[in-house]
Structure 1
Amino acid sequence: MSQLQDDSNVWLITGASSGFGKRFILSVLARGDRVIATARSLDKLDEMTSSLKPELAQRLRVSQLDVTEGEEKIHAKIALMAKFWGRIDILVNNAGFGLPALVEEGGTRLLRRQFDTNVFGVLDVATATIPFIRESKSGCVVTIGSRSAWKPEIPLIGPYAASKAAVHALTETLTLELAQFNIKVLLVEPGAFRTEGIYGQPYFTENPIPAYDRMRNASKTRFGAVAGTEKGDPDKAVEVIVDVVRGEGVAKGRPWPGYLVLGEDAEVDVRNKCKKVLDVLDEWVDVARGVNFDTPQA
């Protein structure tokens, strides 16, 4: 156990070598808390953290963690991480990636690869960490979801959107289950943010179906033009998330949100999906209500 002991919170952050993850490290340390940063490979993480000032570096620990290693290994590794400072107060379940593919071409083989990281890995990390957060009496679980769960009607993002929709549902259930332990849960739903390599995964082309050639090629061109044009500033996004967790800045004096939609594009997509579903429900409300058992006549 480290000799550094104080009342600051201990954050466990997955996928910390790039994107939102590395920005979480800098934001949390700057606010005086402690960080356990994890990544599949420590090379990039070490490169980034080696330049930290000593007063920040002493509040940082790094550990290798591949969220697809399986429940047993992940639980064992996180149990060791909890010994760094004898506690874990806040989990940021950030590790994830997207595999672009058309649904029929990718099939369940690709979908399983996508779910291994974005769903099963997220849940394995959560179940390994929650026992330690429960001991803190006032901890927090942050899940990085995606606006894609609200707008899956885009070719090539089906597997990714499905994985994020599953994570959203699990997170909403955890919100209820963990409330009894005074553990808060925050589901972050970001739109497009200008982070490193977010569009870097290769397109799945192992099973090309000629009928989809036109759609696939058009979608690849569209996706290829997105990188570097995103309006979302990842530094601002992470600062807002840390504000909410700590009850500071933009969150000061506001009730706990549970959901945090970030980005103008995400706001539009959430509103449009809600309106679309409600419009259909209103049009078909007589059918929705007409399938109950008939009321027995007196």
Structure 2
Amino acid sequence: MVEIRGELVWFITGTSSGFGRELVHAALNRGDCVVATARELEKIQDFPKTDKIRLLQLDVTDGFANIQAKLNKAISFFGRVDVVVNNAGAGVPCLLEEGGSDMLRKQFDVNLFGLVDVTTAILPHMRSRRSGTVVLIGSRSSWAQLPPSGLYASSKAAVRVLGEGLNEELTPFGIRTLIVEPGMFRTNFLSGAVYTGNPIPDYDDMRDEVAKRRRGAEQHMTGDPAKAMELLVDVVRGEGKAKGKAWPLYLPMGAATDDAIQAKTKTMLGVLDEWRDIIRDLDFDKKEL
């Protein structure tokens, strides 16, 4: 891990609440510059008044041309962007059959396609400089889900796989990729009501149980989003808790994410152990070659 000396310029989406808001403060506290974006600028007017921050209206679903224009404007503020953080996201608590592909598209429009538009808009700038860091905010739920998180989790799983592909494509240009997967942090993520636009009677009990479980669940989440974003800045800058460590590509955050990845990995290894002889014995017979 290379420790970065001097200021970085961060471009952060979705800074009106949650991780995005905490990351703005964490980056500013390290002496870095920040372009903070939100769909509604009035929600981020309370950020510190300093010449190291610029506010920019941005809806990641506005389409590539509009987003590229906003990124070009962001670059003009400080002359460059060193770190782009794809934090903007949407979570619609929805049972799969009730929401169908319409609700799934809403998840992917923000969590994946908006992320792709922001990233591809900044890449020409980073490639020309042979430098930069692309941060993708995923989720623990991509490793373990309970209803009604299946639609949201699928979009975040896609973020992880996309990040792995990006890493292979961008490394030759000196651009780093970081896939961040937080779990059970106390943000406002669970504030949305469970989707009831297409109620199917067979799911009534499940839907009621989900709604009951979500009420008040936020207060039982022990993850501190401020600590998480301090760690993110440590990793990007190669200092603090990340000093001397290799660039990770994956950055799981929180005990819940650790538990989920451990459990999923154990399950998959168990399947491989039980089925290995069978699944590996599917080549053409030697006499057919």
**Paired position in structure 1 for 2:10:** 11
Matched, 1:221 2:220: no
Q: CA deviation at 1:296?
A: 2.2
Pairing 1:250–2:241 present:
yes
Identical residues among aligned pairs (%): 49
Supply the AA of the counterpart residue of 1:255: A
* Structure-1 separation of matches of 2:185 and 2:233: 17
Could you say which residue in structure 2 is the equivalent of 1:3?
none
TM-score normalised by the chain length of structure 1: 0.93
Q: CA RMSD in A?
A: 1.4
Alpha-carbon distance in 2 for matches of 1:203, 1:257: 35
Q: Which runs of 5+ in 1 are unaligned?
A: 1-5
- 2:268 aligned residue: 277
Q: After TM superposition, give the deviation of residue 7 of structure 1 in Å.
A: 5.3
The 1-side partners of 2:216 and 2:17 are apart by: 21
Shift of 1:225: 3.0
Is residue 193–residue 211 contact of structure 2 (8 Å, CA) maintained in 1? no
For the residues of structure 1 that align with 2:237 and 2:157, how far apart are their CA atoms? Answer: 26
On the 8 A contact 1:90/1:133 being kept in 2, the answer is no
Q: Kindly tell me: are residues 149 and 297 of structure 1, through their superposed partners in 2, closer, same or farther at Cα, counting changes over 3 Å?
A: closer
Task: Give 2:56's match in structure 1, choosing from 63, 72, 76.
Answer: 63
Q: Does 1:260 align with 2:251?
A: yes
Shift of 1:297: 7.9
Instruction: Report the 3-state secondary structure (helix = DSSP H, G, I; strand = E; otherwise coil) of the residue aligned with 1:159.
Output: helix
Give the SS at the match of 1:293. coil
Amino acid in structure 1 at the alignment position of 2:125 = F
Q: Which residue of 2 aligns with 1:128?
A: 121
Match of 1:79 among 72, 80, 86: 72
1:238 aligns with 2:235: no
CA distances 1:23-48 after superposition (whole Å, capped 9, x unpaired): 111111111111000000011101x2
User: Paired residue for 1:163?
Assistant: 155
Aligned AA (1:129):
I
Distance 2:288 2:86 in 1: 55
What's the CA shift string for 1:4-58, capped at 9, x where partnerless? xx95211100001110111111111111111000000011101x21xx2x5xx11
CA distance in 2, matches of 1:297, 1:150: 40
Preserved contact between residue 40 and residue 64 of structure 1 (Cα < 8 Å): yes
Task: Provide the residue aligned with 2:133 in structure 1.
Answer: 140
* Cα deviation, residue 227, structure 1: 1.3
**Deviation string, structure 1 residues 101-142 (Cα, Å, up to 9, x no partner):** 100000001101111100101111110112222233331111
CA contact (8 A) 1:37 1:60 kept: yes
Contact 1:243–1:251 (CA under 8 A) maintained in structure 2: yes
Match of 1:123, SS? helix
Using the alignment, how far apart are the partners of 2:227 and 2:89 within structure 1? Answer: 20
Q: Distance in 1 between matches of 2:128 and 2:184?
A: 35
What is the distance in 2 between the residues matched to 1:235 and 1:158?
Answer: 27
CA contact (8 A) 1:16 1:39 kept: yes
Q: Secondary structure at the match of 2:287?
A: coil
Write the distance in 1 (CA, Å) between the matches of 2:152 and 2:161: 14
Distance in structure 1 (CA, Å) of the matches to 2:274 and 2:255: 29
1:244-289 per-residue CA deviation (whole Å, 9 max, x = no partner) reads 0000001000111111111111100000000001101111111211
Letter paired with 1:290: D
Instruction: Provide the C-alpha distance between the structure 2 equivalents of 1:148 and 1:297, rounded to a whole number of angstroms.
Output: 45
The CA distance in 1 between the partners of 2:95 and 2:125, in whole Å, is 40
Query: Which structure exhibits the higher relative contact order, with contacts defined as CA atoms closer than 8 Å and separated by 6 or more residues?
Result: 2
SS of residue in 2 equivalent to 1:260: strand
Structure 1 ranges of 4+ moved more than 3 A: none
How many correspondences in the alignment? 285
SS in structure 2 of the partner of residue 84 of structure 1: helix
Q: Is the 8 A contact 1:87 1:136 kept in 2?
A: no
Tell me whether 1:22 sits opposite 2:21 in the alignment: yes
Give the secondary structure class of the aligned counterpart of 1:82: helix
- Report if aligned partners of 1:67, 1:74 keep a CA contact under 8 Å in 2: yes
Does structure 2 conserve the Cα–Cα contact (< 8 Å) formed by 1:89 and 1:136?
no
Counterpart secondary structure, 1:36:
strand
Secondary structure class of the residue paired with 2:36: strand
- SS of aligned partner of 1:194: coil
> Is the 1:193–1:230 Cα contact (8 Å) retained in structure 2?
yes
Q: 1:295 to 1:30 in 2, by over 3 A?
A: same
Distance (whole Å) between structure 1 residues aligned to residue 30 and residue 288 of structure 2: 67
Q: Secondary structure at the match of 2:217?
A: coil
Name the counterpart of 2:198. 207
Contact 2:94 2:195 in 1 (8 A): yes
Unaligned runs of 5+ in 2: none
